[in-house]
Structure 1
């Protein structure tokens, strides 16, 4: 169904028609005598919605012209989209940084058509490789004596948290999730195009066909520099990686746990870990 965003921001008419939805569920339960363990599952996937474009003349096929939008929960008390701070080693500090409008990290910008801002516009130094947090919805407590199930979500039923769009193919991905945020990586750390598969993740991360992968494997084993060895792998900014989950190392930082309404990612006995992500493909004209 088309996203029904807060404030009447209905972008359904700009998306076209739905081509289907994929739902991924993450579940965990302790089966042995373990007292507790942190659990924070995600899906490592990347998207290039221009890969099939007939208009694309740039063989590097970068995602710079894709638009992306992260959507915070609405409401006066909502802190909006924040970024997980990291230290000089890239480790999380447990602090969430506010993001000013127009900042390089401002991915909440609606853009001209509500589908977000260009990935290549105002890109941070080194590209995107950061965790962005929208948190969880707030609930109105039930009246005194009422059952807890009477709590109401004060921030709307729609769980659309991210939109990725390619103007040249008119393809869009709409992500819904109950997770607290997303790690967005723009693949700036990959080699420039054409990227040799052996230098950009090996056989597991190549974008070429199975036959080419087999040729690459043979070339790597023999040390050959034949056609297979030159097949292109994941090049610089060849995909938008969106990994939904909880902020990294949440369980180590009380300040972060408090900011996430007590969610500490620690799974105990008799508890079930259950989270999910849905991605819906839309085709415009």
Structure 2
């Protein structure tokens, strides 16, 4: 079926150093191949077969309209004087609506735009900044009708997935291999008049920088992780946000700095059940690229993209994940206010799907050789959980609401590099 046929993104002039396989179903990054020092790695966990993403939900797919958890009850909200309301549909439990509801954006096919088709939510100046080759990027489109999972307003969405050539070098030891930039755009249909709708999109991608070295290298607790965050979200017993943030200093949630270059080993102070927590970035770690763009500012000459697809990121690092064993490192920047970090702590190798062959699995379903716990670091960049319900976020970049007459603009960039292991 077309929604499971991989779309291949490459940088032809630079060989196979960085290659993406995307499937339109759930706008899922199925594989992220990295070639370094003669070895080929797939640095993302997941099933072997594209169609197995149907049962392995939330593995490297897009999440929307609203990521993470919302309380199941009538919710009222307002942005820029426009009021709205809706009741989320439960799917994780009677109290919790997870990742947009029972049929979120990660469980539907997206449409890839043909090379001859002009995106509607990217400007002429931005398309010029992308340049060529077209093999290095793709646009995908979806329309979410009013009432979809109970969300108000018809929402038109376009996503850019782009490979970016590497800078000439980072240091004498560290070699840049290229970057992946994801840009999510959305706009409410204005035919129904002024509307407001909650929106908070992310990529639910999970990384293991050592798994391709063999089946004995699945545990991520020796990976180093830096998060530019001093606080983490307080949540109740059902993981619903309470609206507040606790200081990370002095707790296992301080991922800022015991190692050279910042960060700490994932397994240092590892909680008994692993990490499944939301971290609020320091303000200086959030890129100044706006997440709401007024329609009158969204002109053909406007450019909110070129700084995100340059060979060297000009934005501050929000997160860095690295492996001393493989020598691989992924560095992230984003205009989103924080990140959900999940270390695959609830994975069950017997009951939970399949493991890729390149990671030592059989690739078959229900053979008992899926990924065990603690075998991935999922980094999901998005604004705070249920942010539109927190009064101090009203009418700010963080309120996770979109009104008629605005363009939603969300990005994350992942820079990949390699250093010869010591």
Shift of 1:263: 2.4
Give the aligned partner of residue 224 of structure 2. Answer: 67
Which of residues 96, 109, 120 is equivalent to 2:267?
A: 120
Inter-CA distance 14–247: structure 2 relative to 1 (3 Å threshold):
farther
Cα RMSD (Å): 2.6
Deviations 1:79-107 (A, max 9, x none): xx21011012210011111121x421101
Give the aligned partner of residue 334 of structure 2. Answer: 177
Shift of 1:248: 1.2
1:270 is aligned to 2:405: yes
Inter-CA distance 15–61: structure 2 relative to 1 (3 Å threshold):
farther
Which of residues 162, 171, 184 is equivalent to 1:26?
A: 184
Q: Residues 219-230 of structure 1: matches in 2 within 5 Å?
A: 229-230=366-367
Deviates more, 1:267-276 or 1:14-23: 14-23
Higher relative contact order (CA 8 A, sep 6+): 1
Give the aligned partner of residue 20 of structure 2. Answer: none
> CA separation in 2, counterparts of 1:14 and 1:136?
31
1:243 is aligned to 2:383: no
TM-score by length of 2: 0.49
Q: CA contact under 8 A between 1:207 and 1:232: conserved in structure 2?
A: no
Higher strand share: 2
Inter-CA distance 281–262: structure 2 relative to 1 (3 Å threshold):
closer
> CA separation in 1, counterparts of 2:278 and 2:383?
9
**Runs of 5+ consecutive residues of structure 2 not aligned to the other structure:** 1-165, 289-313
Shift of 1:188: 1.2
1:105 is aligned to 2:253: yes
Q: CA contact under 8 A between 1:208 and 1:231: conserved in structure 2?
A: no
> CA separation in 1, counterparts of 2:397 and 2:328?
37
> CA separation in 2, counterparts of 1:88 and 1:119?
24
How many residue pairs align between the two structures? 222
Instruction: Please identify runs of 4+ aligned residues in structure 1 that moved more than 6 A.
Output: none
Which of residues 203, 206, 227 is equivalent to 1:43?
A: 203
> CA separation in 1, counterparts of 2:376 and 2:339?
15
> CA separation in 1, counterparts of 2:254 and 2:347?
23
Q: Secondary structure at the match of 1:59?
A: helix
